[in-house]
Amino acid sequence: MIASGPEPAILDAQPRDRDQLLEHYIWVRGETERLVAPLSAEDQVVQSMPDASPTKWHRAHMTWFFEIMILTPFLSGYRPLDPHYTFLFNSYYDTVGARHPRPDRGLLTRPTAAQVSEYRAHVDAGMQSLITGASDDVWESTAPLIVLGLHHEQQHQELILMDILHAFSRNSVAPAYQTYRAASARKAPELRWHDHAGGLVEIGHDGRNFAFDNEGPRHKVHLEPFALASRLVTNAEWKAFIADDGYCRPELWLSDGWATVSAEAWGAPLYWQKADDDWMSMSLSGLQQLNDQAPACHVSLYEADAYARWAGKRLPREAEWEAFATDQPVVGNFLGSGLLRPSPASGEVSDMPEQMFGDVWEWTQSPYVPYYGFKPLTGAVGEYNGKFMANQFVLRGGACVTPEGHTRATYRNFFYPPMRWMFAGVRLADDR
């Protein structure tokens, strides 16, 4: 079940056309296998840190979601391929039951990668039967869950690339996931500022088309006048921060950030390596010369905040970011470009900030908390987002490894402040 070509039309949260949903299902599932194709069976079993997961586990967990959330309760006569998979490939759904410990996923040499492929094929056959043959009542109940599952799989497609990059970075020969692809050489434009008058604005998803539950309800927020930088912070600018002892000056850092940078001995973004008088960086194309004009990437919230303080600015609030992003088309350097690394801003846009979508996820200073009126979904899917709304911060916009059609102006990604293996960077904001 491997499809090729561009992604089919983005689906509504409650699709009506079964053929369209099946086409989309086949495409998304096939895209996962396309991304995994360059990896060996040995590559797929590696877990390089507790926060990462083996590729094989990702492939199985995405399949588990369709099996447990949809096929088991809704497809009459469905038989699981292996009852052990319910335990092995549960991620964090306590209402479903116990699970294999997350830090030990790399110990699962069995089932093999080939057996995971068999599992995917088994569930895909069941899903095709359900989509084409379910009664109207079952269809009404399952169609939104299938769409959620497809977006869930796209999240894990990004995680596959994040996690294999981290695994390859721990290999002393610096293997490449793909051959290096040259991009058009251009210089990042001079940083400019776009003012916003503030006032009462509406943010959050309006309920049309698909969105995760944490993107709503739509609500009003009051903003003070502010400005947003015209582009992302570049590697050259981050080098200046390092040269000015940015990682050694406690006055620039949040207390927890200073404790972390001291304990971990950070002196540069993740994957940077000093080479003579310059820097190299590990990428999905192996170890490469750092592009000074490209956006800085793989930085934690703590580093992002320290850089902003050093620059005399601050990080944007998520409502400020959304106020500018709402009127922009969701286009940028996403997974479909095939580049799999951030690229410099073009400077071709003058009336709005550039790079709002794609390249790198943008840290905000906003804690990941529920919007006013938020209510988790009922059942196991209610655990998808709501129970993580503490101690994390929001990122916006998508990255060079995010599938097209997966993000939007209201999309709220979230990570803990010390994390930096995701493709995360910085856009500055300022008060006016």
How many domains in the chain?
2
Does residue 394 share a domain with residue 311? yes
pLDDT at 379: 82
How many residues make up the chain in this entry? 432
Whether 26 is covered by a domain: the verdict is: yes
Alpha carbons within 13 A on the beta-carbon side of 331: 5
pLDDT at 9: 63
Cβ-based neighbours of 299, under 8 Å, separated by 6 or more: 238, 269, 270, 307, 363, 420, 424, 425, 426
Whether 11 is covered by a domain: the verdict is: no
pLDDT at 4: 44
How many whole angstroms separate alpha carbon 53 and alpha carbon 101?
11
Whether 370 is covered by a domain: the verdict is: yes
Do 8 and 23 contact (CB within 8 A), yes or no?
yes
Does residue 240 share a domain with residue 140? no
Does residue 165 share a domain with residue 234? no
Residue 184, amino acid: S
The alpha carbons of the chain give a radius of gyration, in whole angstroms, of: 22
Does residue 335 share a domain with residue 368? yes
Whether 270 is covered by a domain: the verdict is: yes
Does residue 255 share a domain with residue 356? yes
Does residue 223 share a domain with residue 153? no
Does residue 235 share a domain with residue 118? no
Does residue 285 share a domain with residue 322? yes
For every residue of 321-337, DSSP letters joined together read HHHHHTTS-S-SB-GGG
Using DSSP bridges, classify how beta strands 424-425 and 413-415 pair: parallel, antiparallel or unpaired.
Answer: unpaired
Residue 286, amino acid: G
Whether 181 is covered by a domain: the verdict is: no
Do 352 and 387 contact (CB within 8 A), yes or no?
no
Please give the helix or strand (H or E) that residue 279 lies within, else none: strand 278-283
Q: What are the beta bridge partners of residue 358?
A: 333
Q: CATH number of the domain that 214 lies in?
A: 3.90.1580.10
Do 287 and 280 contact (CB within 8 A), yes or no?
yes
Q: Which of 154, 169, 184 is the last residue of a domain?
A: 169
In 240-370, at which residue ranges do the beta strands (DSSP E only) sit?
Answer: 272-275, 278-283, 286-289, 361-367
Whether 292 is covered by a domain: the verdict is: yes
pLDDT at 16: 80
pLDDT at 3: 42
CA 288-406-314 angle, to 5 degrees, is: 65
Does residue 401 share a domain with residue 255? yes
Does residue 206 share a domain with residue 71? no
Whether 156 is covered by a domain: the verdict is: yes
Look up residue 288 and give its two tokens: 């490469």
How many whole angstroms separate alpha carbon 154 and alpha carbon 212?
13
pLDDT at 213: 94
Does residue 248 share a domain with residue 150? no
pLDDT at 15: 81
Whether 8 is covered by a domain: the verdict is: no
How many whole angstroms separate alpha carbon 4 and alpha carbon 29?
11
State the alpha helices, DSSP H only, in 134-289.
Answer: 136-169, 235-243, 255-264
Q: Which domain holds residue 140?
A: 18-169
Q: Which of 109, 135, 169 is the last residue of a domain?
A: 169
Do 252 and 304 contact (CB within 8 A), yes or no?
no
pLDDT in tens, the chain (432 residues): 444 456 666 667 778 889 999 999 999 999 999 999 999 999 999 999 999 999 999 999 999 999 999 999 999 999 999 999 999 999 999 999 999 999 999 999 999 999 999 999 999 999 999 999 999 999 999 999 999 999 999 999 999 999 999 999 999 999 999 999 988 789 999 999 999 999 999 999 998 889 999 999 999 999 999 999 999 999 999 999 999 999 999 999 999 999 999 999 999 999 999 998 899 999 999 999 999 999 999 999 999 999 999 999 999 999 999 999 998 999 999 999 999 999 999 988 889 999 999 999 999 999 999 999 999 888 888 878 889 999 999 999 999 999 998 999 999 999 999 999 999 999 999 999
DSSP letter, residue 287: E
Look up residue 337 and give its two tokens: 């470009």
SS3 (DSSP) at 430: strand
Does residue 393 share a domain with residue 252? yes
pLDDT at 238: 98
Q: CATH number of the domain that 99 lies in?
A: 1.20.120
